[in-house]
Amino acid sequence: MSSPLVGIVMGSDSDWPVMRLAAEAVAEFGVAFEADVVSAHRMPQEMIAYGERAAGRGLRVIIAGAGGAAHLPGMLASVTPLPVIGVPVPLKYLDGMDSLLSIVQMPSGVPVATMAIGGARNAGLLAVRILAAADEDLRARVVAFQSTLRDQAHAKGERLRA
């Protein structure tokens, strides 16, 4: 197995049912990834160390998901030069609006690409696109994937018109 290019981290293993969609999307394109729990509030030192070491370990994109007071994506973005994609994980209360607002309102200078609430699949697909910008083979796979989406949409229209 080649060394991971995408780091998928989350505040708790309870986020995994959402975050595994990011892992599945990345795996569909044959991109090596790692997944781990890195909690901003329960293990802040380890979280900072993860962000500081990520680029040096060979990671190229970080996907970070958290729920509630979701500070993990923003804090990682503050200590890594890598692109960080944030996934708001919906919890029992507030329907994920708390997670979304905690992730999306970053101060100028510290960007986080914030996905929709529960939008972990798009996080994986965005990570693939970021890598594909400098990888022609991967880009061809993204184009083929887009063709599949187009064909599926046409098929839906055909079924309605039939």
112-133 burial, b at 16+ Cβ within 10 Å, e below that, comes to bbbbebbbbbbbbbbbbebbbe
- The reply on whether position 66 binds ligand RP5 by CB under 6 A is yes
CB-wise, 17 or 58, nearer to ligand RP5?
17
List the interface residues with ligand RP5, window 9-38 (CB under 6 A). 10-12, 14-15
Neighbours of 146 (CB within 10 A): 10
Looking at 5-13, 43-51, 124-132, 135-143, which segment touches ligand RP5 (CB under 6 A)?
5-13
**What mask, x for binding ligand RP5 by CB under 6 A, covers residues 89 to 108?**
x-x-----------------
List the one residue out of 101, 95, 100, 89 whose CA is nearest residue 8: 89
- The reply on whether position 8 binds ligand RP5 by CB under 6 A is no
Looking at 7-15, 47-55, 80-88, 138-146, which segment touches ligand RP5 (CB under 6 A)?
7-15
Neighbours of 51 (CB within 10 A): 25
Distances (CA, A) of 1 to 13, 31, 49, 159: 24, 10, 24, 42
Rounded to whole angstroms, how far apart are CA atoms 137 and 80?
Answer: 27
Q: Which residue is nearest to ligand RP5 (CB)?
A: 11
- The reply on whether position 47 binds ligand RP5 by CB under 6 A is no
Q: Is 7 helix (H, G, I), strand (E, B) or coil?
A: strand
Positions at the binding site: 12, 15, 42
Q: Which residues bind ligand RP5 (CB under 6 A)?
A: 10-12, 14-15, 39, 66-68, 89, 91
**Binding site residues for substrate, as ranges?**
12, 15, 42
